[in-house]
């Protein structure tokens, strides 16, 4: 028996099994069991002195691994692992989509100077999305400033954009004047008509665009001069995003970025009829 080759094969088997399954404990148990059998055979057939103690160590390792595995299952380890994977996928998909949204805005509104509205700087999720948006826009849209609503995740601490009231938007918009476009990453307030901002003279009252927002009521808001447009997703891209959140779905970063690049579009008064003809389900409240 060529022991170095056997043990080298066991190590290789463990590495391949761990990489292929994403688990460590199960491949480790299997490899320890194989190693223990090899040690027993080496002791019985070749009289190897080290065979028995090493086999005992392997048995102890198996017992420890089984115990850890049981504790892992009883304490919800698999559920936490799956949740972490799902969150990582969700964050990756969100950032990829936000970068694509930045490219869409840059192509549609090149040359503009924007004020970007976010929930809060203390949120790692928000910071990552902001960086992705700015990366996507590149130098096509200059950024006059970035203003946060307040706190880590918004004024209520819930992270719900709809909790940001009109008065908070007014405060953010009054913070500076060196912009001609408002890019909102937090949607719009439910009481948008109550914003004092709309009482400004026309030269200081700039239109909103949204990075990803419902098209419900969009035409009316654009006709009122409140909104320039919004980035929205094709039904195919929405379906793909839901599919890729499932753990049994594999994907590559390049593939997702390619699909995101084709799955987002900018809706404005200039192209809303064309977009309505392509994706009528995205505009349930209008008829053109």
Give residue-wise pLDDT tens across range 164-197: 788 889 988 988 888 999 999 988 887 888 899 9
Is residue 153 included in any domain, yes or no?
Answer: yes
Is pLDDT above 60 for 160? no
pLDDT band of 154, cuts 50, 70, 90: very low
The sign of the CA dihedral 94, 95, 100, 102 is: positive
CA torsion angle for 230, 130, 104, 182 (degrees, to 10)?
40
Domain boundary among 40, 75, 110: 75
Is pLDDT above 70 for 252? no
Q: What is the pLDDT of residue 155?
A: 40
C-alpha R_g of the chain: 28
Average pLDDT over residues 53-73: 82
Q: How many domains are there within the chain? A: 2
Q: What is the CATH number of the domain that holds 243?
A: 3.40.50.2300
Please state the pTM of the whole predicted model.
0.66
Is residue 161 included in any domain, yes or no?
Answer: yes
Query: Which residues span the domain enclosing 152?
Result: 87-282
pLDDT band of 143, cuts 50, 70, 90: very high
Residue 278 burial (CB count, 10 A): 12
Domain boundary among 32, 52, 75: 75
Judge if 31 and 136 occupy the same domain.
no
Judge if 143 and 22 occupy the same domain.
no
Angle 210-269-161 from CA coordinates, rounded to 5°: 20
Is residue 288 included in any domain, yes or no?
Answer: no
């Amino acid at each position: 028996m060529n022991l170095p080759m056997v043990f080298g094969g066991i190590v290789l088997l463990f590495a391949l099994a761990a990489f292929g399954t994403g688990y460590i404990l199960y491949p480790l148990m299997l490899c320890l069991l194989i190693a223990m059998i090899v040690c027993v055979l080496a002791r019985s057939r070749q009289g190897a002195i080290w065979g028995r103690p090493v086999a005992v160590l392997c048995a102890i390792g198996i017992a420890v691994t089984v115990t850890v595995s049981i504790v892992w299952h009883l304490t919800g380890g698999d559920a936490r692992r799956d949740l972490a994977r799902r969150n990582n996928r969700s964050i990756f998909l969100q950032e990829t989509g936000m970068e694509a949204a930045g490219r869409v805005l840059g192509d549609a509104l090149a040359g503009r100077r924007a004020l970007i509205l976010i929930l809060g700087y203390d949120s790692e999720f928000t910071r990552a999305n902001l960086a992705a948006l700015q990366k996507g826009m590149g130098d096509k849209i200059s950024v006059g400033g970035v203003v946060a609503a307040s706190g880590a995740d918004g004024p209520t601490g819930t992270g719900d954009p709809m909790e940001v009231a009109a008065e908070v938007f007014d405060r953010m918009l009054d913070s500076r004047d060196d912009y001609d476009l408002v890019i909102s990453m937090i949607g719009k307030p439910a009481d948008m008509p109550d914003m004092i901002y709309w009482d400004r003279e026309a030269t200081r009252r700039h239109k909103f665009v949204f990075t990803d927002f419902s098209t419900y009521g969009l035409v009316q808001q654009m006709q009122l001069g409140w909104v320039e447009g919004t980035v929205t997703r094709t039904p195919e891209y929405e379906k793909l995003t839901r599919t890729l959140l499932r753990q049994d779905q594999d994907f590559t970063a390049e593939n997702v970025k390619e699909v995101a690049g084709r799955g987002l579009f900018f809706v404005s008064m200039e192209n809303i009829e064309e977009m309505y003809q392509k994706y009528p389900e995205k505009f349930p409240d209008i008829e053109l």
